């Protein structure tokens, strides 16, 4: 079955600490993976996608086909990064369950 797994529902780190939000996927073809973010009381919005290999707001995500992962990383978390983060496999429109990141002062 094609699916997206985000194993952590909640993740809490201190400001300035590194953060990694895990995403594993299962897909038989070439995956098109995205990270979406939803800040408190705001709409879901694109954070980044694997194909562009960009860094947005200090976040990066590398597609690792061997481990079937697309983990989201930031070396120094900021309080404003607190939000819900969703990994999504666009090939069949599947979202992970989401990880709520809290960055404590």
Positions 74 through 93 that interact with another protein (CB under 8 A): 86, 88, 90, 92-93
Rounded to the nearest whole angstrom, what is the least distance from the CB of residue 15 to another protein in the complex?
27
Residue closer to another protein by CB (options 6, 77) is 6
Find out whether 74 and 82 touch, Cβ atoms under 8 Å: no
- Does the footprint of another protein cover residue 98 (CB under 8 A)? yes
Residue closer to another protein by CB (options 87, 103) is 87
Residue 35 to residue 53: CA distance in whole angstroms: 12
CA 56 to chain centre: 12
């Amino acid at each position: 079955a094609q699916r997206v797994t985000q194993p952590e529902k909640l993740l809490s780190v201190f400001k300035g600490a590194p953060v990694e939000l895990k995403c594993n996927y299962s897909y038989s073809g070439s995956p098109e993976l995205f990270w979406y973010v939803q800040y408190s009381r705001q709409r879901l919005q694109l954070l980044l996608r694997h194909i562009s290999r960009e860094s947005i707001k200090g976040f990066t995500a590398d597609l690792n086909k061997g481990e079937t992962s697309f983990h989201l990383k930031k070396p120094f978390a900021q309080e404003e990064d607190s939000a819900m983060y969703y990994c999504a496999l666009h090939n069949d429109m599947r979202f992970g369950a989401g990880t709520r990141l809290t960055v404590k002062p």
